[in-house]
Amino acid sequence: MLIDVIFYFISILLISTSLLILFSKNVYRSAVFLAFSMLCFAAMYFLLSAEFIGVIQILVYVGAVSVLIALSVMLVKDVEKSTENSNFLYPSAIVLLVSMILISFFIFNFKWDEFSNKILDNSNCLLSRCEPDPGILIESTNWLGKLITADFMIAFQLAGLILLASLIGALALLRVRIDNDSR
């Protein structure tokens, strides 16, 4: 019962901070709301007994990505003009609508029972051992480590390359700005 209340509380915080990110007119406040929503995601991972992923979420996304966001906010020359509406409002609304239709189609047509039974049958968590409070503080670090280094190695490496590319892009933008300001 307490876990359900905590889950709903964190879910409401996550949805509200996500909406504040979208509708905030100030870029700095949006960055702070983004960091807080990432903390809410980490709390969700802890509730799902994925403590390793929760800690990585805090270290990588709340820490490093928030610093990158702060750097990009500092690169914006005119904050007032950067928050004005752009010409991409209607195309982005169409993309959002199509995405929501595809996601809802996936959610309603996916066989969730078969998928969750396969996960429970192949995981290291024995339900008899987790009987009093299933889903609470089950050690998943070894299992997730094996998944990351074996099954999802390519996806893990691609995520690292994407973060590296974004860092190089931010540094290139900073160098161009420094060169323009020194002239």
pLDDT in tens, 30-55: 888 888 999 999 999 888 877 888 88
The residues, ordered by sequence, that sit 6+ positions from 79 with a Cβ below 8 Å of its Cβ are 26, 27, 28, 73
Q: Can you tell me the distance from the alpha carbon of 166 to that of 181, in angstroms, rounded to the nearest whole number?
A: 22
Provide the 3-class DSSP secondary structure of residue 28: helix
pLDDT in tens, 149-166: 777 778 888 888 888 888
Residue that wins the pLDDT comparison between 104 and 89: 104
Domains, the chain, in order of start with CATH, read 1-84 (1.20.120.1200), 85-137 (no CATH)
Distances (CA, A) of 71 to 31, 54, 65, 80: 11, 24, 10, 17
pTM, 2 dp: 0.54
